């Protein structure tokens, strides 16, 4: 296989975010809404998850670098916003990130 063949087959990450419908159960309410998830290359995922800054949450950084909000996905979460998320909402975001990027438990089960 040639490099051009890999590119043509989708072996490199496109830059366009992916819209995902998610549901967040909060108390007695279930909110359904659309988020936009950035696709990350292998190197970006590795860097985000192995950041050596012990003062920062890796998960909050991963969410901040991956989730876009708003009608067209133009609104970026800051690290501080991601860090302050309600834990069950953060879990919804992480599942969507893993789904779009082929990481996490769903990726293990699909091999």
The answer to whether 10 and 64 are in contact (CB under 8 A) is no
- SS3 sequence of 22-78: EEEEECCEEEEEEEEECCCCHHHHHHHHCCCCCCCCHHHHHHHHHEEECCCCCEECC
Q: What is the pLDDT of residues 12-62, one digit of tens each?
A: 888 899 999 999 999 999 999 999 999 999 998 888 877 676 778 889 999
> Which residues 6+ apart lie within 8 Å of 23 measured at CB?
30, 31, 32, 92
What is the structure's pLDDT at 15? 82
What is the structure's pLDDT at 51? 66
Q: What is the pLDDT of residues 2-14, one digit of tens each?
A: 999 998 898 988 8
Q: What is the pLDDT of residues 76-90, one digit of tens each?
A: 999 999 999 999 999
């Amino acid at each position: 296989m040639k490099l051009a063949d890999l590119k043509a087959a989708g072996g490199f990450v496109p830059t366009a975010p992916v819209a995902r419908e998610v549901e967040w159960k909060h108390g007695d309410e279930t909110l359904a809404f659309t988020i936009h998830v950035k696709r990350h290359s292998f190197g970006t995922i590795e860097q985000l998850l192995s950041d050596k800054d012990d003062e920062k949450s890796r998960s909050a950084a991963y969410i901040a670098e991956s989730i876009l909000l708003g009608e067209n996905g133009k609104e970026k979460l800051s690290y501080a916003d991601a860090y302050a998320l309600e834990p069950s909402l953060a879990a919804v975001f992480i599942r969507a990130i893993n789904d779009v990027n082929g990481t996490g438990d769903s990726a293990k089960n699909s091999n």
